[in-house]
């Protein structure tokens, strides 16, 4: 068993990690921490041997001092501030320590955080970053994370911050593989105390890493409930990107995206932007995938996930990966981020039937009413896309009540009267016969004609990138050179 496997079998404590770094003669760098003190650096001083690791520690706590060092900015706890800190601190190491360049792996660690204030009227969170070399004289890599601190005591939040900081530095220096780094970030912690909802790593040693996959792994490994990336593939921090925005969400499997999915987004957006309490300039649309929809028999196919991500991104859409299987949990999460701004959700009418199925809420003390309190909160609206019945007739909200059990009919009428549900009356009903599973089967079997069921950009992406086994199937049949 090699040393890495031995460490995996026995997780090191925070103190053991800090000491191993201190005793490594090749690792040397600086710490710059703003907002909570110097909790990360303190761990290295406490275990002894810090002179072997630390060139400098600092905390430009006063805003004027911070501005003088890192430049004036609108906000202090943000990614831009963190990157300024790394860009300032890292070059000082080889510049002032030229005699160590040949044998030293330099690093600059930085964090800018906000812990609970005295009145406890805020939420603890922060940006943490590391610029580091894996070999002496090499170009550095960057690893950046965003954390939410859930301890209800500021001192405990500082302790948690110190732990995750040591974990990050240790993992980048010794574990090196991105998934190992992610899975070790909360060593010694739990998601109840600390959440990591954004992770990005890049540099000459990590050119092979797709950070969209890292967003999935954050959710899959239980470090957060939701992660995001944009149409350009760049990961985003949800709370920052969606703050005080009007969010419109479409949940789906997108396997692949069809004309129906696109029409659901376009038509619901037309309805959403006409709401009196929606600021058209602040509308953000999100396509959301749940872990449940990404797994087959409990196993997530990462290649399939990236195929779906490529498809959605080709249409210029933001992607959220979440572990909120129930709609009301997703809505509750978004409402906290958007600070009460109007949120819209588009779903098919058969999905709404499942929402009204009381069996879904048997494990909740408050049953369906407990869930509906969040799902149909003060600033949420559901846009319902029609479907075709087996007899070919159109199934809309006008017909929905007749299928409900008697005890839920009044509840449904209340939601309709309160303007919480709205039919998408301008849907393109000519496309309602398109079933994504059938389209996927056609692609994989090499059958012709599937192209007419998907947008042109989706067709191009599937053919050019070989998504969903497209080129493999066609080469086997001699249809592709």
Report pLDDT digits (tens) over 354-388. 999 999 888 888 899 999 998 998 799 999 999 99
Residues 336 and 359 in one domain: yes
What gap in Å lies between CA 405 and CA 191, rounded to an integer? 39
Domain-located, residue 220: no
The answer on 305 and 396 residing in a single domain is yes
Least confident of 40-44, 197-201, 250-254, 445-449: 445-449
In angstroms, rounded to a whole number, what is the distance separating the alpha carbons of residues 259 and 454?
Answer: 5
Specify the CATH number for the domain of residue 64. 3.90.950.20
Pairing of strands 299-300, 318-322: unpaired
Q: Is residue 235 part of a domain?
A: no
Structural domain of residue 303, as residue ranges?
240-431
Same domain membership, residue 154 and residue 88: yes
The helix-helix angle for 406-417 and 367-375 (nearest 10°) equals 20
Query: Average pLDDT of 149-176?
Result: 96
Q: Kindly give, in sequence order, each residue whose CB lies less than 8 Å from that of residue 390, ignoring residues fewer than 6 positions away.
A: none
Strand segments, DSSP code E, in 133-176 are 141-149
Work out the angle at residue 56's Cα, subtended by the Cα atoms of residues 52 and 59, and round it to the nearest 5 degrees: 140
Instruction: With respect to residue 140, please indicate whether it lies within any of the assigned structural domains.
Output: yes
Query: Which residues does 330 contact at the CB level (< 8 Å), separation at least 6?
Result: 226, 249, 251, 288, 322, 324, 345
Q: How many domains does the chain have?
A: 3
Do the domain assignments include residue 481?
no
pLDDT score for 472: 55
Cα of 68 vs its chain's centroid, Å? 33
In this structure, is residue 281 part of a structural domain?
A: yes
pLDDT beyond 90 at 479: no
Per-residue tokens: 435: 């079933």
Which residues have a Cβ under 8 Å from the Cβ of 51 and sit 6 or more positions away?
none
Which residue did the predictor score with more confidence, 416 or 3? 416
| 391 in any annotated domain | yes
Q: How far is residue 347's CA from residue 326's CA, in Å, rounded to a whole number?
A: 13
Mean pLDDT of the 114-140 span: 93
The answer on 377 and 314 residing in a single domain is yes
Is 416 found in the same domain as 382?
yes
Q: Could you tell me if residue 216 is inside a domain?
A: no
User: How does the average pLDDT of the chain come out, rounded?
Assistant: 92
Instruction: Report pLDDT for 297.
Output: 63
Q: Report pTM.
A: 0.90
- 250-309: pLDDT as tens digits: 999 999 999 999 999 999 999 999 999 999 999 999 999 999 888 766 688 898 899 999
């Amino acid at each position: 068993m090699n040393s890495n496997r031995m460490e995996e079998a026995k997780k090191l404590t925070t103190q053991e990690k800090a000491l191993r770094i201190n005793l490594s003669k090749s690792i040397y760098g600086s710490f710059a921490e703003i907002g909570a003190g110097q909790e990360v650096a303190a761990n290295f001083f406490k275990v002894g041997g810090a002179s072997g690791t630390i060139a400098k520690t600092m905390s430009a706590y006063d805003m004027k001092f911070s501005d003088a060092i890192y430049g004036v900015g609108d906000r202090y706890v943000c990614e831009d501030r963190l990157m300024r800190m790394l860009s300032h601190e890292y070059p000082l190491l080889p510049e002032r320590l030229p005699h160590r360049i040949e044998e030293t792996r330099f690093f600059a660690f930085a964090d800018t955080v906000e812990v609970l204030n005295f009145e406890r009227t805020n939420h603890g969170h922060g940006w943490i970053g590391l610029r580091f070399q894996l070999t002496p004289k090499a170009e550095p890599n960057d690893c950046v994370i965003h954390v939410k601190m859930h301890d209800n005591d500021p001192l405990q939040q500082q302790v948690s911050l110190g732990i995750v900081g040591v974990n990050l530095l240790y993992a980048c220096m010794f574990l090196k593989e991105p998934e190992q780094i992610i899975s070790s970030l909360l060593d010694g912690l739990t998601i109840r105390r600390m959440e990591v909802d954004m992770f990005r790593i890049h540099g000459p040693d990590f050119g092979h890493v797709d950070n969209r996959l890292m967003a999935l792994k954050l959710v899959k490994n239980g470090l957060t409930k939701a992660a995001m990336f944009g149409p350009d593939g760049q990961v985003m921090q949800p709370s920052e990107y969606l703050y005080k925005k009007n969010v419109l969400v479409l949940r789906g499997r997108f396997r692949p995206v069809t004309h129906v999915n696109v029409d659901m987004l376009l038509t619901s957006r037309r309805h959403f932007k006409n709401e009196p309490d929606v600021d058209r300039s602040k509308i953000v649309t999100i396509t959301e995938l749940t872990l449940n929809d990404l797994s087959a028999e409990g196993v997530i196919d990462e290649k399939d996930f990236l195929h779906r991500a490529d498809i959605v991104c080709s249409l210029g859409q933001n992607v959220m990966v979440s572990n909120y299987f129930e709609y009301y949990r997703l809505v509750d999460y978004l409402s906290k981020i958007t600070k009460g701004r109007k949120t819209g959700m588009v779903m098919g009418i058969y999905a709404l039937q499942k929402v009204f199925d009381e069996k879904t809420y048997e494990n909740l003390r408050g049953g369906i009413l407990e869930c509906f309190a969040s799902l149909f909160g003060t600033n949420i609206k559901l846009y319902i896309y029609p479907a075709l019945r087996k007899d070919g007739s159109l199934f809309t909200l006008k017909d929905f009540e007749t299928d409900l059990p008697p005890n839920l009919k009044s509840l449904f009428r209340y939601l309709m009267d309160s303007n919480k549900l709205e039919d998408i009356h301008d849907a393109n009903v000519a496309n309602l016969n398109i079933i994504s599973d059938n389209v996927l089967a056609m692609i994989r079997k090499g059958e012709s004609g599937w192209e007419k069921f998907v947008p042109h950009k989706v067709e191009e992406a599937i053919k050019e990138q070989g998504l969903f086994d497209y080129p493999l199937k066609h080469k086997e049949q001699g249809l592709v050179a």
